[in-house]
Structures are given as C-alpha cells and as structure tokens.
C-alpha cells in the first residue's frame, strides 16, 4: 500500500494546474510544486525560482530534451539569461538549492542528500512518512531507465511516497503524459532500485521550514546519509 507523505494533497493540486513544465526548467518547476507542501499558496512560481536559481536557457529547439509528444513551452524565458550551449542550459542542483531559499526569503531551507543508494533511499522514505514536520522532496535523476521510450536527460521530479510491499516510489513528474491511469496527473510509481540508480551521481533536495532544519539534518545523519550537493 502506498504511503503518501504529508502535504501530498497540496502538491497534487498544484501540479494539476501547473503542468506541463516550461522547457529546460524542470528544476524550478519541481521545486515550486514541492514547496507547496511547506508553505502552501505562498510557494514561489517557476519563473521566480528560475531567476533565483541562476537558470539559463538554450534558445534553439531541442526536441530530444522533452519526452516524445510533449509540447514546447517557453513561459518565463524572457526573464532568463541564455546559456552558452545546450549542455550548459537548465539549473544546477546547487543553484536550485540556493534559489529555493532565496525565493522564499529563507522560510524554506534545503537539506541536500547525495547518492543515497537503494538501502539509504528505502530507509529515508520510510522515516519521512512518520516525521512531524512539513517537507517537500525533489529528486535529481537521469531519466534513461525511468521511462519506457529511451528519453535520456538530467531531470528533476517530486517524490510523493513509497509502497514498501511493492518496493516502488511514487513520483510527480513534470509532464502530464508521464503519468499513469489511476494516479493524479503526471504521477506514477517507479521501482526503488531504479530510482536510486537514476540518482547515483545526483541526489535529493529535502525542503523544510527553516524552523525544522535541525530535525531534518538529524534525521539524515542518523541514517548516515551525506549532506552534500552534487555537481552533475
């Protein structure tokens, strides 16, 4: 049985009205959605987060950057700098972590968790289902093995909960087309091992209220997880 995290109702509601993401802004999009679990309607929008995170845009058409059949959307691009190349476009994990804190004026802080591995991910998600503080959880992944059609990019998604019996994790993706029947728009489950592997050189950003930073750090450290930001 899927155990959803507290705050998932706010995330799903925000996701349904926001989908799909603007091109190259999956990080700010996912962070905006995840922030609603902490600050509700006061969550910053995608453009505000992109500006605060130092996101950059490659202005050319890059069909391979999107899942097949999904629309090209350029909302917010007029506010953002241009990247020197397609490889330099988007948002870094460190930039996003800083941007979340800046755009929320310090109300939301980020606890990074680099490459938790399968066992670490299971333990973390199980413990998070029982915590007393509000949080959002963003995963930075490589998509190659997370979809059935060979889409292969660096990407950010929001984590919603875990089914320990089926050993799967529920995620909210950034395109409606990546959802499955029977789940909210844009949402699906993926095997825990697959998600952990997709984060092998990346990790998670745990978004919490500033007052709960110590509790979140204590939790991750009790599980021997590394609170570093990755550079991929």
- The answer, yes or no, to whether residue 24 has pLDDT greater than 80, is yes
> Which residues constitute the domain of residue 210?
3-222
pLDDT at 150: 83
Answer whether residue 232 is part of any domain.
no
Query: What is the arithmetic mean of pLDDT over 173-195?
Result: 97
Query: Which CATH number fits the domain that encloses residue 162?
Result: 3.90.70
59: in domain: yes
| DSSP per position, the chain | --EEPTTHHHHHHHHHHH-SPPTT-HHHHHHHHHHHHHHGGG---HHHHHHHHT-BB--S--GGGS-TTPPP--TTGGGSPBPSSGGG-B--HHHHHHHHHHHTTTSEEEEEEE--HHHHHHHHHHHHTT-SS-EEEEEEEEGGGTSSS----EEEEEEEEEETTTTEEEEE-SSGGG--TTSSTTEEEEEHHHHHHHTTT-EEEEEEEGGGHHHHHHHHHHTT-B------
pLDDT reported for residue 1 = 85
Tokens of 177: 């087309």
Q: Does residue 51 lie within any of the structural domains?
A: yes
Residue 76 within any structural domain of the chain = yes
Chain centroid to CA 75? 19
Lowest-confidence region among 3-12, 49-58, 61-70, 171-180:
61-70
Is the pLDDT at 177 greater than 80? The verdict is yes
Please provide the average confidence, as pLDDT, over all residues in the chain: 96
pLDDT tens-digit readout, 84-128: 998 899 999 999 999 999 999 999 999 999 999 999 999 999 999
Q: Mean pLDDT over residues 129-150, rounded? A: 94
Q: In terms of Cα–Cα distance, which of 52, 58, 159 is closest to 95?
A: 52
189's tokens: 């489950």
The verdict on residue 231 lying in a domain is no
Whole-angstrom CA distances from 110 to 32, 47, 195 are 13, 19, 20
Q: What percentage of the chain exceeds 70 in pLDDT?
A: 100
Confidence check: pLDDT of 232 > 80? no
Taken in order 158, 96, 110, 116, the sign of the CA dihedral is positive
Q: How far apart are alpha carbons 25 and 31 in whole angstroms?
A: 10
pLDDT, mean of residues 15-21: 96
For residue 228, is it within any domain? no
Token digits of residue 70: 């999904």
Number of independent structural domains in the chain? 1
Question: How confident is the model over 28-78, as pLDDT tens digits?
Answer: 999 999 999 999 999 999 999 999 999 999 998 888 889 998 989 999 999
Within-domain flag for 13: yes
pLDDT at 149: 85
Q: Confirm whether 104 is domain-assigned.
A: yes
**pLDDT in the model for residue 93:** 98
In the block, tokens 């979340």 appear at 100
């Amino acid at each position: 049985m899927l155990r959803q995290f507290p705050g998932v109702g706010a995330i799903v509601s925000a996701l349904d009205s926001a989908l799909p993401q603007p091109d190259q802004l999956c990080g700010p999009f996912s962070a905006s959605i995840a922030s609603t679990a902490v600050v509700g309607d006061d969550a910053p929008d995608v453009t505000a987060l992109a500006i605060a995170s130092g996101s950059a845009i490659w202005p050319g058409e890059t069909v391979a950057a999107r899942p097949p059949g999904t629309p090209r959307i350029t909302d917010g691009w007029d506010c953002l700098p241009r990247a020197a190349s397609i490889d330099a476009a988007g948002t870094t994990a460190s930039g996003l972590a800083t941007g979340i804190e800046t755009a929320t004026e310090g109300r939301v802080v980020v606890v990074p968790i680099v490459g938790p591995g399968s066992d670490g991910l299971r333990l973390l998600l199980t413990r998070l289902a029982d915590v007393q503080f509000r949080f959002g959880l963003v995963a930075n992944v490589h998509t190659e093995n997370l979809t059935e059609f060979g889409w292969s990019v660096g990407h950010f998604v929001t984590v919603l909960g875990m089914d320990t019996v089926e050993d799967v994790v529920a995620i909210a993706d950034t395109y409606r087309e990546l959802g499955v029947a029977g789940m909210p728009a844009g949402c699906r489950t993926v095997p825990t091992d697959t998600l952990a592997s997709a984060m092998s050189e990346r990790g998670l950003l745990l978004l919490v209220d500033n007052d709960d930073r110590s509790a979140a750090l204590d939790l991750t450290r009790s599980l021997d997880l590394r609170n570093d930001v990755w550079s991929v």
